[in-house]
Amino acid sequence: MNKSIGSLSKQHIQLASEAFSCTRFDPISGNWVLYSPNRTQRPSDYPRTDHSSSRKDSCPFCVGQESSTPPSIWVGKKTNTGFSYLHRHSDEPHINDEGWLVRVFANLFPAVSGTEPSRAIAHYPNTDLQISAVGSHEVIVDTRAHSNRMSDVTIDESQLVYRAIHHRLMTLGAERSIQYISVFKNSGGSAGASLEHSHWQLLGTNFVPSYVTQTLDRMQQYERHHGTCLVCSLTNTEVSQKKRIVLRSNLLTAYCPFASEFPMQVRITPNLHTPDFTSSTEKILDECAIFTRKLILILQDIYPDASYNLILSNLPPKTSSAFSAFHWTIDLCPRLSNFAGFEIATRNMINCVMPENAATFYRGGLKKLSTR
């Protein structure tokens, strides 16, 4: 993103309305901060503590409340022969979402929206820089059950949600204004969830976050110096050392990273070098569902009230130059501790659980799951 500062022509520098979402550049950290004032209006099931009360009767994500959300964009259903999907085209007012297991729709309180060209405001000597933020913000409701417990989510729903993510990444990635798509799930108040009903989010922006750009740079540098993918090397090291491996199949490996930022963090990655999640086969998508399902069941067995984030790190859709160096991952990040002064001041995390111990906990949980 830093390179784009100098490329802003004078005719594009104009006053941006404060009513719209925007990004502002911090020249000290090199990061862009996304501002979205209308997000303060979104509903919440969670008070400031995690002792939330159920609001099933008024939950907009529950079956029968479909009219409380924008129309479905994508719907996944179970049939006698497998799964079926419905995708709403631009000329269709709505699609039949009766019998849905997973449904996708526009976020009613989006962090970004619209497709208008970026506008910026800058003050000499470019210490203040603001660009209007446009893009797409979608919700994926991944279960009919009013719950954030994995035990209440069916395996069909778990598999369908990865098909939904796959389809929406392909669709949003083809849009001209979308430069990056963040895919994540917030579960529990400490993880940022505002509603108890389980759901994912896709947030497509007209800029690539600085952290993502820096990660791409490191991966490209590693490939230039070593002739191989950084994630492939890390995974091979974990497999050879074994002590942080949690779960492994012919397609995927799950391990607790050597430098885990979060207590009990687990990373899932394909065994074969795969830069783009959209190239994943249905077998890999189903395996993602099985892996994340098992890991979250174990986490919620050890820590019943644990909040967590699930994060898919994927190649930005229009970044072909880094294609061979990137490798997608899914991270389960339990929120068992809070950020405090040191983390905010240094951007470095303090982790109270060694990843070797975390892997031991998960492996023990897998044995318990297999005997149930």
Cα–Cα distance measured from residue 79 to residue 55, given in angstroms and rounded to the nearest whole number: 30
Task: Quote the pLDDT of residue 208.
Answer: 92
Domains plus CATH for the chain? Answer: 211-370 (3.30.428.10)
pLDDT confidence of residue 16: 37
- In terms of Cα–Cα distance, which of 250, 62, 270, 80 is closest to 156? 80
Dihedral (Cα; 61, 187, 209, 251), 10-degree rounding: -100
Sorted by sequence, the CB contacts under 8 Å of residue 72 that are 6+ apart come out as 66, 86, 88, 94, 95, 97, 100, 103, 104, 105
Burial of 274 (0-12, 13-18, 19+ CB in 10 A): buried
pTM of this structure: 0.86
pLDDT at residue 340, as a whole number? 86
Q: Which H or E run includes 355?
A: helix 355-370
**pLDDT, position 8:** 36
pLDDT tens for the chain, 372 residues: list them: 344 333 333 333 333 334 567 777 665 556 666 666 666 566 665 444 443 445 677 899 999 999 999 999 999 999 999 999 999 887 788 888 899 999 999 999 999 888 766 666 666 566 777 888 889 999 999 999 999 999 999 999 999 999 999 999 999 999 999 999 999 999 999 999 989 999 999 999 999 998 999 999 999 999 999 999 999 999 999 999 999 999 999 999 999 999 999 999 999 999 999 999 999 999 999 999 999 999 999 999 999 999 999 999 999 998 877 788 999 999 999 999 888 898 889 888 888 899 999 999 999 999 998 876
Residues 357 and 368: their CA atoms lie apart, in Å, by: 17
Rounded distance between C-alpha atoms, residue 366 and residue 150, angstroms: 15
145-181 residues labelled b (16+ CB within 10 A) or e (exposed): bbebebeebeebbbbbbbbbbbbbbebbbeeebbbbb
Residue 337 pLDDT: 87
Query: What is the amino acid identity at position 359?
Result: A
**Residue 180 in contact with residue 212, Cβ under 8 Å?**
yes
**Farthest CA pair distance, the chain:** 67
- The pLDDT value recorded for residue 51 is 38
Residue 146, pLDDT score:
95
Characterize 222-231 residue by residue with b for buried, 16 or more Cβ atoms within 10 angstroms of its Cβ, and e for exposed: bbeeeeebbb
Q: Quick check: 119 and 11 in contact, CB under 8 A?
A: no
DSSP bridge pairs for 330: 268, 312
